[in-house]
Structure 1
Amino acid sequence: MSRWRPPAEASSPLITAAGLERLRAELDELWNVRRPEVVGALSAAAAEGDRSENAEYIYRKKQLAEIDRRVRYLGKRIPALRPAHGPPTDASAVYFGAWFSVEDEDGSTHDYRIVGADETDAARGWISIDAPFARAALKRRVDDEFEVQTPQGLRRCVITRIEYSEPARAR
């Protein structure tokens, strides 16, 4: 059995302006704060002697590799991103950056926001534009019904609200 895996599907280059700033701040913090701290701790651990049995040295090497991996990823990803500025011309339909509410068949209401793949946050209801649910909701308007296949089965929803400025309850 080989370890080869097919390449991952490319994610959309869209991102909100705030999301892009968060990624830039993360890259800056990793490169200018975290990495120098870890390098200093690694040097101190290396000075303690036998590296093969030095848990601190081994831990710091792994930590430095994780930071370098994330820095490399962000260094390649940030230039490829396209920030979306402002709402779309048709703010009455669901597009990138929209906060919207849906009502399920059972009457439960859920709030979502469509964001870039790099800013998804399930706890906040922020879903990637590449997600099947977001794709099914795109271009829908208030009172439009749509279906999406989920791991739990077919889900039918109705759009009940669409906003492009952050709702007061989401802040």
Structure 2
Amino acid sequence: MSDDLCVEVPVAAAFRIRWAGAQWEADAAMALRRAVFCHEQGIFNGDDRDQVDDTAQLLVAVKCEAGAPEMVVGTVRIHQTEPGVWFGSRLAVHTAYRSHGKIGATLIKLAVSSANGLGCTRFLAHVQSQNVPLFRRLHWNVLAEETLLGRPHHLMQADLDHYPACLTPRVGLSTLGRSGT
């Protein structure tokens, strides 16, 4: 873990959103997904991992304190299903950081922008209905309403014109905010 990943921010916390690079980040992201999708929402029994995880790129939102990475507070994964077509899935933010308001949005921004930097021509996601307003604010359009895993979802597509290509996803993006709990 290098000190140049995060900057010290007085009174507020710094969050670095980037592609997961360290094993501890991947482990923490998977634990966060289990907490959200298995325990909190009860969508999966025990674990939410599937075959997509074998090829997906994992993104993390890491809370930084005193300039050092401290904990993963958000995650999402992206994967290409055919040349140019990418999907985002398993967006999860720790309960203590959901009111921050920028973590989920910044994860979405980096997910689409980094895929765009890899030649994405279409970026899609199956979005839980309660999250549709957030995605609409971020320039996504509803293509269809669906039921997945027994819950209402919307198949949505990002407007790539609002997501310039990110060619440095391992460095990622930063956002500031309240430190949470």
TM over 0.5: no
State the TM-score, normalizing by the size of structure 2: 0.27
Greater strand share, 1 or 2? Answer: 2
Larger Rg: 1
Greater helix share, 1 or 2? Answer: 1
Higher RCO (C-alpha under 8 Å, 6+ residues apart): 2
State the TM-score, normalizing by the size of structure 1: 0.28
